[in-house]
Structure 1
Amino acid sequence: MALRKAGSVLVVFFWSVAVVMGQDGWSVTYTPQSICALRGSTVDLTCSYTYPSGTVTTTLWFTKWETGVEPEYLGQDPEYAGHVEYHGDKEKDCTLRIKDLRERDSSTYWFRLLTDQEGGTYTGSPGVTLSVTVFSPGLRVKVTGGHQDKTLTCSTTCTLTDNPTYIWYKNGQHLDESTSPQYKSSVSSNYIDGYSCAVKGQEDLHSPAVCVQGQDCNRVTYTKRRICVLKGSTVDISCTYVGYNRVKSSLWFSPKRSASWTNKLTPEDLTRDPGYAGRVEYTGRESETYEGPSSLRISDLREEDSAEYRFAFKTPNFEWGHSFPGTTLSVTGLQVKVTPAAEGQKTLTCSTTCTLTDNPTYIWYKNGQRLDEPTSQQHSSNNLVVLGHSADSYSCAENTTRTSPLLQCMLQRTPQCQSVPLVK
Structure 2
Amino acid sequence: MSPSHLYDVIVVGGGAVGLGATYEVAKSGKSVLVLEQNCFFNGAGSSNDLARMYRTMYTEKFMAKLAHKSLKMWKDLERDAGTALRSMTGLLNFGDPTLGDDTPEGSLTGPICNLKELKMPFREMKKHEIEEEYPFKNLPDGFEGVYAPDNGVINVPLLLRTLHRLAKDYGAHARQYVQVRKLVPSKAQDGQEEIWTVEALEDGKAIQYRARKVIITMGAYTNHVTEPSFGMRLKLTIWEMVSSYFNINAGPNGTVFPSMWFQFANNKKVGDEERSQLFYGFPALEWGPPNVCRIAVDAATHIISDPDQRSAHVISPEDIADTQEFVKNHVVGVDSTVPAYSSSCLMTNVFDNMFVLDFVPEEYLQGGAKNSVVLFTAGWAMKFVPLLGRALKDMALHGHSDLGLDEFKIDLSGIISHSTLKASSAKFYNLDAPHTSALCRSTE
TM-score range, shorter-chain basis?
A: under 0.3
* Structure with the largest fraction of strand: 1
- TM-score, normalised by the number of residues in structure 1: 0.21
* Structure with the largest fraction of helix: 2
Question: Which entry has the higher C-alpha Rg, 1 or 2?
Answer: 1
The structure, 1 or 2, with the larger RCO (C-alpha pairs under 8 Å, 6+ apart) is 2
- TM-score, normalised by the number of residues in structure 2: 0.21
